[in-house]
Amino acid sequence: MATVASVSLLSEAEFGCEHLASQLMHDSAASNQFKASFIKTHNALGRRDIFNSNPSSYLKPKYTCLTCSEPCMNGDRKSHTENTGHQFYMESRNRALFCQGCEDLVYDHGLERCRSATPESTLKVARKRRFSESSADELYVKSNANRRPCAKQGVRGLFNLGQTCYLNVILQTLLHDPILSTYFLGNGHQPHDCTVADCIGCAVAEAFADFHSIDKPEGFAALNLLLASWRASPTLAGYQQQDAHEYYQFLVDKLHTSAEGNRENHEKGCSCFFHRTFYGKLRSSVTCDRCGNVTKTEDPIVDLSLDVQVQAKKRAMGGGTGPSATPTLSGCLESFTSPEKLMADVYNCSGCGNTPQKATKQLRIKKLPAILCMQLKKQRFEHTFSVSEKVEGRIDFPLSINMLPYTTNPDSAVDKSRYTYDLSSAVVHKGKLEAGHYYVYCRQGDEWMLFNDDQVTPVTEAEVLGVDAYLLFYNLRCLANAAS
């Protein structure tokens, strides 16, 4: 006779998961109602014309409750189940069934047959052949069926190939970005169509494919990306420690070069995927104190370098705001975009006959990228006599930030969602710059993970917000309203 464990295993193998088995096996009326809701939701989602919609709105899927038809985002699904007891949803992009009890997508053969069945036979085709508890079927299922380790999917470390932690933290950041995942796992850069030798785009695409391989939950090595980086940049070649921020800039530039239809001159504009994803624009305005003449220049940027020590010095001189002695990210951004006095020996005014004049300089963000990287320039060396000491100091940063106050947009009444960013990764550096170590905290769905080379550890939001970050990566919340 079959044991309770084997019955549970049979139910899971036959129905996709044990929660679905309990829904479909017993009460025929409830089972038929569930199948009818499944077909109704499936057909309703299928009638949406995705070709006339903004493709960026499909980067983050919605989940429609099969019981009450309420749409939920990924982060709202759990609370909806806790409040209502409803635990089955349909994912919007491919109309797959999601079980909140398993916290995973589930496949059910009978329900899949319902997708293509006629309305008259919809409820009949889902009837299943029952396994005999003493048959060869049971023995086969017991020997071959097992639970897939869902918690490990998408959580894979990267082996250190010899002082390559700088590469690992940047690659982990890219691998956990939903925008880049959609590109590389979709119809983005195709290595089989690329003829460029040692192409960085091909190496990153290979890393995405390897990372998302469900057959390999253990760590992996990004060897081809390392070799391609060495061949593309002599300064990177070898096993010496590199700066993660500089490697990020290098990688973004090479990805942009690998994109089809890219333009090398950023000032003329570029419509390629990587330019729109990574590149922003910074405006510098210099106003002559004598005649008021304004000189404006705009330059492309892939990150913002914020000097934490500037804010700390302003606080020490009484120029800081708030009682806290800990610098904040918003404070650093305010310092970065606040007016700065220029002496006459560094500025010649065209309105005053190109003569040296005192002036006021101010930086503002003209265009924000979809992925915003911010470097916290506090980890540097200060030289005192013959001693070099590393400048340390943690900075407070939020899970979400509104970038509108730091842009050239003077209209404070605009939709703030166009400028709202959510934290996706935080890179930490420990030790000396020449011989230190990098690790990174990345958002994995609704959870956070610490990636220390091939070691992966779940952490809390509070732990992430308490780290001494070197690089912060934020994602634009609403891509359909990309700020410009």
Kindly provide the residue ranges of all beta strands, DSSP E only, lying in 302-370, ordered along the sequence.
304-306, 340-342, 348-349, 355-356, 359-367
Has 165 been annotated as catalytic?
yes
Has 199 been annotated as catalytic?
no
Q: Give the pLDDT score at 439.
A: 96
263-277, 339-353, 376-390, 447-461: lowest mean pLDDT where? 376-390
In this prediction, residues 64-87 reach a mean pLDDT of 90
- Picking from 384, 478, 483, the residue whose alpha carbon sits closest to that of residue 56 is 478
Catalytic, out of 86, 212, 266, 437 = 437
- How far is Cα 258 from Cα 274, in angstroms, rounded to an integer? 9
Q: What is the pLDDT of residues 302-339, one digit of tens each?
A: 999 998 776 555 545 444 444 456 789 999 999 999 99
3-state helix/strand/coil string of 430-478? ECCCCCCEEEEEEEECCEEEEEECCEEEEECHHHHHCCCEEEEEEEECC
Which backbone phi and psi does 231 adopt, to 5 degrees? Answer: -70, -30
Q: What is the pLDDT of residues 421-441, one digit of tens each?
A: 999 999 999 987 666 899 999
> Residue 160: which region, alpha, beta or left (left: phi > 0; alpha: psi -120 to 50)?
beta
Do 475 and 424 form a contact (C-beta atoms < 8 A)? yes
Confidence of residue 483 (pLDDT cuts 50, 70, 90): very low
Could you give the residue ranges of the DSSP H alpha helices within 150-194? 165-175, 178-184
Angle 76-82-88 from CA coordinates, rounded to 5°? 75
Give CATH 3.30.40.10 domain extents, the chain: 10-44+60-117
Q: Which amino acid is residue 215, in one-letter code?
A: D
What CATH class does 10-44+60-117 carry?
Answer: alpha beta
Q: What is the pLDDT of residues 254-266, one digit of tens each?
A: 999 888 777 776 5
Look at residue 136 and tell me whether its pLDDT is greater than 80: no
- How far is Cα 216 from Cα 207, in angstroms, rounded to an integer? 13
Structure tokens at 160: 């250190």
- Picking from 273, 152, 146, the residue whose alpha carbon sits closest to that of residue 212 is 152
Q: What is the pLDDT of residues 217-243, one digit of tens each?
A: 678 899 999 999 999 998 998 888 899
Confidence of residue 251 (pLDDT cuts 50, 70, 90): very high
Catalytic, out of 17, 65, 165, 199 = 165
